[in-house]
Each structure stands twice: as C-alpha cells, then as structure tokens.
Structure 1
Amino acid sequence: MAEERPKKQWIMNAFAIFSPGHLAPGQWKHPEDRAGDYTDLTYWTDLAKTLEAGKFHGLFLADHLGIYDVYKGPGNSAPALESGAQFPIGDPL
C-alpha cells in the first residue's frame, strides 16, 4: 500500500510598491483603479482587507534603498537626496 503524502498548501503573496504605477501601465484608465491614492492610508487598509478576504498569506511592500544617481550625470546622488525621490520610496529623507 502506498503511503499518502501530505497535501501541499498553495501560498499566495501580493506585491505592491509605493507608486501609482509599476508593472501595469495604463491601469489608471480603468474606472475602478485607485492606484493614484497610494499616499492615502485607506488605500492600503482596503487593499489589506481585500487580500485577507481572498485568503492571501502576505503582502510584500517593495521599497528602494539605493539611489538612482544618473540624473544630471552619473554618480550624482544630490538630486535624489535633496528631493527624497526613491530613497527610500515610502519614507523620504
């Protein structure tokens, strides 16, 4: 008699970034799109509630700890640091 294997569990995680758009350009045209509200706390709490209702296991919030240093010449971190642009995205200096 063959031994039964334990059932595998499907783990679902969502991905989000602190930006109105990342990998789905043009979604902003959809009438129900709320990506522009990414700076509003209710956007994130509503997303968490939706994911929880869908039985998701987690939400990965992408951030960026490096500096995009190509604006106004290579190796130039001043514009990114002065504006807090993408360094990190969710918590500017």
Structure 2
Amino acid sequence: MASPTKKLQLNIIDNTATGAHMAVGQWKDPNSMSRHKDRLDYYVWLAKTAEKGKISSIFFADIYGIHETYGGSADATFKSGV
C-alpha cells in the first residue's frame, strides 16, 4: 500500500511597519522594498511574487505601536529602541 503524498504549504509573513524588530535599519538598504509599504503597487508586487512562487498565503502583521512598556510608559522604548 502506497503512503499518502505529503504536501508542503509555504506562507509569507510581512510586517506592515517599515522597520521591523527583526530587521532594524532595513529601510536603509537601497534594495529594500519596505519604503514602499504605503503604496498599492508594493502589495500588488508582493501578491504576484507569492503567486509566482506558489505561496499558499500572506499574513500581514500590523505593528505600528510599541511592543512593550516599562513603568507604564513607552519612554524607555523610544530612548533605547526595542
């Protein structure tokens, strides 16, 4: 009896903020597309790229605020970064 075919699902996670906590300074790279995240053509490009690569889904993480607060204020985050 043959075993069932296994399928791999590929997904994209895109942080909608221009500077993600895992890619600090990425916006400085001239090849970075993050500077275009306020334009529709960026999302059309992303969707076409995903479709071309047979990607199953795109998850948009929307983190425009701060991740943590210390002492009930965001001052520490703004002073020293996340």
- TM-score, with length taken from structure 2: 0.69
SS in 1 for 2:6: coil
Q: How many residues align?
A: 72
TM-score of the two chains, using structure 1 as the length reference: 0.62
Larger Rg: 1
Could you say what secondary structure the match of 2:41 adopts? Answer: helix
The code of the aligned residue for 1:7 comes to T
State the superposition RMSD in angstroms: 2.7
Deviation at 1:30, TM superposition (A): 3.2
Paired letter, 2:48: K
For 1:29 and 1:70, locate their aligned partners in 2 and report how far apart those are by CA, in whole Å.
Answer: 27
The gaps in structure 2 that reach 5 residues or longer are 75-82
Higher relative contact order (CA 8 A, sep 6+): 2
Name 1:63's counterpart in structure 2: 62
Name structure 1 gaps, 5 residues minimum: 77-93
In the aligned structure 2, how far is the partner of 1:13 from the partner of 1:39? Answer: 22
